[in-house]
Amino acid sequence: MCECKGLPEFIKSDTSDSYFKKFKQIDWKDDAWVKLIKCPDCGQYWQLDEWDKYQTGLAIKIEDPESWKTHNDKEIRIEFLIHTRGGLSEKTCAWQGCNNKAIIGLAYCPLCAYEKAGIRE
Ligand SMILES: [Zn+2]
Ligand SMILES: [Zn+2]
């Protein structure tokens, strides 16, 4: 049996020979860098990033394959960034004009880290 049920809503997917290898590819977007795949056992849909050693790849559970192409995953990617860093610190974001709390170990808040500094994990 598969492990989909026990897995969190989003996980890091670092290698191409991961858990998802036997999954069926249903669709793709962003020049095939992002795929929609389906578990052959339980039918759970996942969004999977094409593996690239310079990027942080994520596998994200998709509840509605119909709206998948317009689904905005930025919030989940930012949540992942906060999660892997261990949360927010008491420091203020170093980006000029930003008063949000910085992520632990980083100078920037989640949004500035993601959008302006291009940090993914
Ligand atoms: Zn499954
Ligand atoms: Zn900021």
pLDDT of residue 52: 74
Q: Where are the domains of the chain?
A: 4-71, 75-116
pLDDT of residue 54: 73
CA of 96 to the centre of ligand 2 (A): 8
Query: Quick count: other Cβ atoms within 10 Å of Cβ 16?
Result: 12
pLDDT of residue 15: 66
CA of 115 to the centre of ligand 2 (A): 9
CA of 9 to the centre of ligand 2 (A): 25
Cβ–Cβ < 8 Å for 62, 73: no
Cβ–Cβ < 8 Å for 39, 4: yes
Average confidence (pLDDT) per 10 residues, the chain, 121 residues: 94 78 92 93 94 83 94 93 96 97 98 95 91
CA of 83 to the centre of ligand 2 (A): 17
pTM score, whole prediction: 0.85
